[in-house]
Amino acid sequence: MIYSKITGTGSDVPEKILTNVDLEKIVDTSDDWIRSRTGICQRHVRAEDEVTSDLALRAAQRALHAAGIAAEQVDLIIVATTTPDMVFPSTACILQAKLGVTQGAAFDIQAVCTGFVYALSIADQFIRSGSVKCALVVGAETFTNLLDWNDRNTCVLFGDGAGAVVLQPASEPGIYSTHLHADGRHVDILSVPGSISAGAAVGSPTVQMDGGAVFKFAVKVLKQASLEALATNHISMDDVDWFIPHQANVRIIEATAAKLKMPMSRVIVTVANHGNTSAASIPMALDIALRDGRIKPGQKILLAGVGGGFTWGSALIQM
Ligand code: ACO
């Protein structure tokens, strides 16, 4: 039986930091309001000449280095992103070229903030089928591109960043199971309802959100997806060393952990330092917690994501 295992992780954020106090000068908000409602203290914002694949490249290089893998060994690249460099080619193809890889498949997937869980699940299937030997799975966003900096309801929530993992075959898990869901009826509560046509933006190419509805839906499905992973693997939350939910905001994370009866001491929370980085948030949190020593080899981790679509999903993994 072939399983897949994460053998290296990496992450990256742009240098420029935008604090809550900086935001006070842009919109009618306050550090106190943002911290108390979201737990976010600062976010990173791309430089003018920085694109999603630049962040993806640095995260990928760190993940490859951690895995002890040369880029030429990669035979599948999946980039989960809502903010691709271009309409086409895919950010995965652009990343492939920047890495100097010329073999295998490369494609993007779009499941907004659940993107990394979707990408991990897809890569896991390729590895377990035996058709891929080394997958690079990246969540990367320049999500600040989609913000209306006059809309205090949304612009305080998001930031830019990237996280990456290397996935390789192993004789034991690795990835125990992944669980993906979508329900396209909920487009009205979270979307960027714009596109490009005849060389111009049509519609409204910035984030529109019903914050209260998103909050309730996110907590509900993060709990459902987490319980599904536990049930599939016949374990309880007590058997999980760390819970990494999508880093949207601390109140969603705390409410979900409470519903799962998971103590916050075993929940990885990194959102304070980078805001909601959409598809990048889970692999960034995983990398940060591995590198600071919280997550140790052999530990079981439950990942749970939720995002626009709506999409949601979970993965039970062992490092
Ligand atoms: N600064 C100051 N005031 C603000 C701000 C701001 N940045 N944003 C909104 N407000 C105001 C509103 O205008 C409103 O004012 P009003 O009552 O005069 O109309 C008031 O604050 C709303 O306050 P609350 O109801 O107390 O806000 P709430 O506790 O619902 O928090 C929040 C709002 C943070 C958006 C919450 O609903 C939430 O976290 N929702 C989830 C949103 C989210 O995380 N989205 C991320 C994308 S989804 C994903 O990743 C899955």
- Which pLDDT value is given to residue 56? 98
Enter the CATH code of domain 176-318: 3.40.47.10
Candidates 112, 154, 215: which one to mutate for ligand 1, based on the most atoms within 8 Å of Cβ? 215
Q: For 218-273, what is each residue's pLDDT tens digit? A: 999 999 999 999 999 999 999 999 999 999 999 999 999 999 999 999 999 999 99
* CB distance 92 to 107 below 8 Å: yes
Q: How confident is the model at residue 301 (pLDDT cuts 50, 70, 90)?
A: very high
Which CA distances in Å does 74 have to 61, 71, 95, 100, 125?
12, 6, 12, 10, 16
- Is 276 noted as a catalytic residue in this protein? yes
Average pLDDT over the chain, rounded to whole? 98
Distance of CA 241 to the CA centre of its chain: 20
Measured in Å, residue 242 CA sits from the centre of ligand 1 at: 28
- Is 150 noted as a catalytic residue in this protein? no
Within a 13 Å sphere around the CA of 236, how many CA atoms are in the beta-carbon half? Answer: 3
- Is 44 noted as a catalytic residue in this protein? no
Full-prediction pTM beyond 0.85?
Answer: yes
Measured in Å, residue 10 CA sits from the centre of ligand 1 at: 31
Q: Is 215 close to ligand 1, i.e. is its CB under 6 Å away?
A: yes
- Indicate the DSSP class of residue 32: H
Q: How confident is the model at residue 55 (pLDDT cuts 50, 70, 90)?
A: very high
Measured in Å, residue 153 CA sits from the centre of ligand 1 at: 6
Q: Which atom of ligand 1 is nearest to the CA of 29?
A: 1
* CB distance 246 to 304 below 8 Å: yes
Enter the CATH code of domain 3-171: 3.40.47.10
Mean pLDDT in residue range 167-175 = 97
* CB distance 96 to 108 below 8 Å: no
Measured in Å, residue 8 CA sits from the centre of ligand 1 at: 36
Q: Is 29 close to ligand 1, i.e. is its CB under 6 Å away?
A: yes
Q: Is 156 close to ligand 1, i.e. is its CB under 6 Å away?
A: yes
- Which pLDDT value is given to residue 131? 96
Mean pLDDT in residue range 129-139 = 98
- Which pLDDT value is given to residue 102? 96
Of 80, 79, 110, 111, nearest to 95 by C-alpha is: 79
From atom 3 of ligand 1, which residue's Cα is the shortest distance away?
A: 29
- Which pLDDT value is given to residue 11? 98
Q: Is 224 close to ligand 1, i.e. is its CB under 6 Å away?
A: no
Mean pLDDT in residue range 111-138 = 98
Q: How confident is the model at residue 81 (pLDDT cuts 50, 70, 90)?
A: very high
What is the spatial distance between Cα 229 and Cα 151, in angstroms, rounded to a whole number?
A: 37
- Which pLDDT value is given to residue 100? 97
* CB distance 112 to 217 below 8 Å: no
Residue 172, C-beta contacts closer than 8 angstroms, at least 6 positions apart: 3, 5
* CB distance 256 to 222 below 8 Å: yes
Mean pLDDT in residue range 177-195 = 97
What is the spatial distance between Cα 138 and Cα 11, in angstroms, rounded to a whole number?
A: 9
Measured in Å, residue 223 CA sits from the centre of ligand 1 at: 21
Q: What is the full DSSP assignment across 158-212?
A: B-EEEEEEEEEEESS-SEEEEEEEE-GGGGGGEE--EEEETTEEEE--S-EE-HH
Residue 102 parent element (H or E):
none
- Which pLDDT value is given to residue 213? 98
Which CA distances in Å does 294 have to 161, 189, 297, 314?
21, 35, 10, 21
- Which pLDDT value is given to residue 298? 96
Tell me the domain boundaries of the chain: 3-171, 176-318
Q: Is 275 close to ligand 1, i.e. is its CB under 6 Å away?
A: no
246, 249, 273, 274: the catalytic one is 246
Q: For 26-54, what is each residue's pLDDT tens digit? A: 999 999 999 999 999 999 999 999 999 99
Q: Is 40 close to ligand 1, i.e. is its CB under 6 Å away?
A: no
Domain pair 3-171 / 176-318, same fold:
yes
